[in-house]
Structures are given as C-alpha cells and as structure tokens.
Structure 1
Amino acid sequence: MTVRRVAARGVLALSAVLAMATGAGVGAAEPGGTDQCGHWTASTVSSGLGVLENLAFDGRGGLLLSEVPASGTDGALRRIRADGSREVLASAGSPGGIVVAGGTAYFTNGGSLISGVAGRADGVIQALDLDRGTVSTVARGLVAPNGLAVLPDGGFVVSRDVGTPTTLTRVAADGALTPLATDLTSTNGLAYDPNRRKLFVSTTFEPVSALAVLDLDRPDAAPVRITVPGYGPLNAADDLTVGPDGNVYLALNVAGRIVRVDPESGRSCTVAEDISFPTSARFGAGDGWDPRSLYVTSFAGTVIRLSPAA
C-alpha cells in the first residue's frame, strides 16, 4: 500500500472509534486481545526505509521488500541482506505482494489508492528473474492488485481492498482473469498452503476480521471463515503466512499486532504487539536468516525480527 493508503486506514480507524463511541452502525465488538503465544523477543533488522508493504526471502541470502517512498510514488523492489547491505532490484510504482518461486520473484504492481477508487485496470503481475535481473509482465488488466499467491498450475490469485468490488481475482497461467469467491470482500493477505491445498485470505475493513479458507479444488464452495478477535477496521488485517508448524501468522496493521491462528481449531494468540503498522510477516529462509524467527515489515519503514524463546 502507498502512503495514501496509510491515511485511508487512519481515517477508517478513527471512524470506527467514533462509531463505537456513539453506538452508530456498529454491533457488539469482539474482545480486542488474544492470549500470548509464549515469549517472543523483538529486534530491529533494518530501519529508515520507505513505506514497506510486503516481503519474501529469495533463497539466496536476500530479503526482498516492496517499498514506496514517503512521497507515495516511484516505488521499488529492494533487497537487503543479513549484513545490512541494501540494493534496488527493480523500479515499481506501487508494489504489493511478493512470492518467490524457484528463480523468480513475482510481485503485484499498480495497487495505488487512486487506481482502486477510480477502478483503473492498470495493475499488473510482474516477474523478476533473480539470476538475470530482468523484469517481465505476466498478467495485465488488474485493478489495484494487493496480495498475491502463486498456484501449483502456474496461475495466481490477487486480492483487492480499495474501491469496489474488493474481491479476489484468479489469474490463469495464460493471463485470463476470472472472479473468485465473490462473497468474500475487503480481501488483502493471501497465502497458498500446498500441504492442505487451501488458500488463506484475510479481510481488512469488514466489521468482523476474518481469516477465510478457500478450497481451490472446489472453487464454488463457500469459504470457511475463522473469526479473529477485535473489531475489523481497528484490526485492519493485512498480509499473512503459513508457518512451518501449519499455523497462520497474520499482521494486524492498525492494531499493531502479529497473531497466530490455528486453522484447524480456530484458536488464536498474540505473537507480538505494539508494532507500528505491521504489514507482512515471513519466517526466515536462506543464509543469515533464522528459520525459527518471523521477519515483519511495517509502514514505519522498519524490518523487525521476532524470535521465540528457546
């Protein structure tokens, strides 16, 4: 998301607070907190970056970031290494979700607030060849694409949480676009779990924060919805990942928390809180990155490491 989306989230969060204070338009809120997931220690890996929307490990010692400067334009796909070195890999106006598959980093681009509100189909999925450094476009015609999942058949799913409709789009390997699970709105974070053959989706601005589970082998089936405690806009659920333990780790942007959700039982707990606008979380992968630790991006331009107790 661009810095303009940060402002939009702030307005919505303030509106939600006022609505709850006056009792207008808001039902009974879920409890705001969850139990703690044991003790996790937070440390800063990198700071002083632009607005960070997403991250992925490239498997070759680098952490890839979707970065937009404070101006809200002229974003980039950036790589940082465990030794602190940084480099820009590709220019991107409004980069969003990143998924690394083999030697390619796929990412959404064109997810600006203006495009979303205006309904401009200028969004794309692009592919960065990590060996050659070249960028190609693999899908066009998307409106404000945000989250991204890569599917086993070579296709993709993208989310949209600005404008209307804020639903999912399935992108075939040949670039053809079709709506997916259209009753699921305000979609944002995406993660495909190959072990379960399920797609996990977060919703951002709905009154009830939901972690939705889609069976892509049965695309017409209604998604299973797991409620995440807290009022939706005050959570502002963002991106997510499936951990090596099979649990889903979800960034709650406005709430400033990372929560862990057991998709089998629906139970959740808090991994960390008091993080400034966290946007995405991934477990470490590659040289220099701890596979037991979660690495978290934020709108504040920081990358934070969350390490569990031994």
Structure 2
Amino acid sequence: MGNRSIRLAAAASVATAGMFVAAVPASADTDVCAPREVGTVASGFGTLENLAFDGRGGLLISDGSLIGPGALRRIAPDGTSGAVAEVTGPGGIVVDGDSVYLATGNTTAAGVLGTPDGSIVRIDLATGEQDTVATGIVMPNGLGLLPDGSLLASRDIGEVGLTHIPADGGEPRVIRTDLGSVNGIAVDGDTVYTVTTFDLVNRLHILDANDLTGPVRSIDLPGLGPIQSPDDLTVGPDGALYIALNLAGAVLRLDPETGTSCRVVEGIPMMSSVAFGSGPGWDPDTLYTVGFDGTVHAAHRVHR
C-alpha cells in the first residue's frame, strides 16, 4: 500500500512470460460469485491507498502524492470531495464513532530505509480537531482497531511485520515478523485478518485479537503471488472476505471457513482497497474500491 511504484515494478519483474495463474476454485454458491458491474464514482486524485465510510454520508480516502503532502479526503455520494487533513503518506483508515484513525508516513522510502517517521493520528469527524495517538512507527500501512481499543498496523517493505499500538498511549511495539509481507488488516470481533502482498505464495492469516503472538491459521491465496499482489481486504455482510488484488485488478471473495474463493470483480487497475457501502447515500450491497490510478469505483451486484 502507499506510493508503491518502485515496489510494483520490482514485483512485476518477478513474473516471467509463460507463467500460468492457478485456477481460482469457485464457490458452491454461484450467485455470490456472479461478476459485478463496475462504474466510476470519482476520479482525478493521486495515488489512492485506503478507504472507509464515516457513517454520516461521506467516503474517506487516503490520497497520496509523488510531490508534496498527501491528504485524507471526504467524498460525498454525488462525487464531490474536499480535504479533511493534509498529511504525508496517508495509509490505513479506521472509523470509530465520531473519530477516524489515520496512518501517516506510509511511504516506500520509509519502508526501504527503515525510517520511523510514521504515526497514527486521530481526527474528530465533527470538529476536525486532530491529536497524535502514536509516533515512531516505520511505514504504517494497513490499520485495524482491536476490541480493547488498541491498534494494529502492518509494514510490507523491509523488515515486514505487525506493530501493536496500546490503547493507553504506550509505545508502539513490533509483535510479529513471521507472517511475510503483511498488508491489509480487517478486524471482525475477536478475529483479525491480514493478507500478504509480495510473497511468491500470498496468504490470508487469521489471528486471535486476544492472543496476537499466538497460533495463526493461514490460507494460501490462488495465483502466483507477485502478479496478484493482494492489498487490502474487508469483511462482507455475508461473512466472507473481499480482497483487493492490486496487480490483478480484481476482487477475490474468500470463505475463511472453507478457503473456497472466486473473483467477483475484474478490470479495476491497481486496486488498493475495498469496502461495502455504509451510511446515507452509499449502497450497502455495493463494493467500493480505490486504486493507484486515482479513481474511486463502485462494483454493483447484477440482479438477474
């Protein structure tokens, strides 16, 4: 995630002509695997990294830039937008009631050099006031809010791993480096999901929020890792995971219990994040996506 043109070029070079992508096993339910119809919500932004709905009619996006600072922006259902806050290297976004948590310093340079200039900021959605929750983090990318109020951030370049940010304001601490190039994070109750991006075989890892350093259940994702590049993910209303495949330009629907999967969206370039609509003006049955091409897409279910 983040401004990753350097990373994507390196990943793409791994894939050579003649390699075949493994077939994706289809779910038994053909309706949930039906292809969705894709449209454009808004375009013309910079490198879009993440998205989240604020519950009050807005879609929040992490808008990065190759020149100058990036920003957290808010898009209305009619496609109009405005800046919420200017930050460098905006990454993961988590909305919690009247507050939004945003990872900053999510840049390729920070990951490669190990520069601890990343932070987590909290922004009041009503007043716009900001406060810094944590500093000294290297390239906080994916972001998740745990049931106890603490946060979990990922790093997928350099010394990859997961960083825990205590709810009481304690120092951030790297708690795992054994899961590969972890990227997107989704939290569902006491269950934490994360996917890897740059491994030859990418995986979904399933952790217990109450025992983050304990046992992990992992599911191999279909296809050759470097040309799929799983990025962010979300838990759908059906309990399945919907994973943005960046280089493949697709959304993978995966049942975390059985491991069966199918693609439900195709043809969205450099997709970085995906979420179902939430709040006034946003369809809860529609998948909304952002990508490095600066476009927000909507993938509607086709009713037959």
Superposed, which structure 2 residues align to 1:1-310 within 5 Å?
1-3=1-3, 5-17=4-16, 31-35=22-26, 37-69=33-65, 71-163=66-158, 165-173=159-167, 174-194=169-189, 197-310=190-303
Distance 2:61 2:179 in 1: 27
Distance 1:135 1:32 in 2: 46
Q: Which amino acid aligns with 1:105?
A: V
Q: Indicate conservation of the 8 Å contact 2:146/2:209, yes or no.
A: no
The aligned residue for residue 24 of structure 1 is none
Q: Indicate conservation of the 8 Å contact 1:181/1:222, yes or no.
A: no
Distance 1:306 1:290 in 2: 10
How far 1:122 moved relative to its partner? 0.8
How far 1:309 moved relative to its partner? 2.3
Distance 1:100 1:2 in 2: 19
How far 1:220 moved relative to its partner? 3.4
How far 1:32 moved relative to its partner? 4.9
- Aligned residue pairs total 297
Instruction: Provide, for residues 258-279 of structure 1, a one-character-per-residue CA deviation record: whole Å limited to 9, x for no partner.
Output: 0111000011110111210100
Distance 1:247 1:175 in 2: 34
Distance 2:213 2:78 in 1: 47
Q: Compute the TM-score of the two structures, normalised by the length of structure 2.
A: 0.93
Q: Which amino acid aligns with 1:31?
A: A
Q: Which amino acid aligns with 2:62?
A: S
Distance 2:23 2:268 in 1: 16
Instruction: Provide, for residues 47-89 of structure 1, a one-character-per-residue CA deviation record: whole Å limited to 9, x for no partner.
Output: 11111000000000000000013x3431000001011211001
Q: Which amino acid aligns with 1:297?
A: V
Distance 2:39 2:85 in 1: 28
Q: Indicate conservation of the 8 Å contact 1:138/1:175, yes or no.
A: no
1:9 aligns to what SS in structure 2? helix
CA separation of 1:172 and 1:222: change in aligned 2, threshold 3 A: same
Q: Indicate conservation of the 8 Å contact 2:201/2:221, yes or no.
A: yes
How far 1:34 moved relative to its partner? 4.7
Q: Structure 1 unaligned runs (5+)? A: 22-28
Q: Indicate conservation of the 8 Å contact 2:35/2:263, yes or no.
A: no
Instruction: Provide, for residues 240-291 of structure 1, a one-character-per-residue CA deviation record: whole Å limited to 9, x for no partner.
Output: 0011111110001011110111000011110111210100000001111000
Distance 2:209 2:291 in 1: 30
CA separation of 1:166 and 1:263: change in aligned 2, threshold 3 A: same
2:281 aligns to what SS in structure 1? coil
Q: Compute the TM-score of the two structures, normalised by the length of structure 1.
A: 0.92
Q: Structure 2 unaligned runs (5+)? A: none
Q: Indicate conservation of the 8 Å contact 2:195/2:231, yes or no.
A: yes
Distance 2:93 2:45 in 1: 17
How far 1:94 moved relative to its partner? 0.3
CA separation of 1:266 and 1:144: change in aligned 2, threshold 3 A: same
How far 1:30 moved relative to its partner? 6.1
Q: Indicate conservation of the 8 Å contact 1:168/1:181, yes or no.
A: yes
Instruction: Provide, for residues 142-176 of structure 1, a one-character-per-residue CA deviation record: whole Å limited to 9, x for no partner.
Output: 0011000011111100000111x100111111232
1:309 aligns to what SS in structure 2? coil
Distance 2:102 2:197 in 1: 20
Give the alignment's Cα RMSD to 1 decimal. 1.6
How far 1:2 moved relative to its partner? 4.2
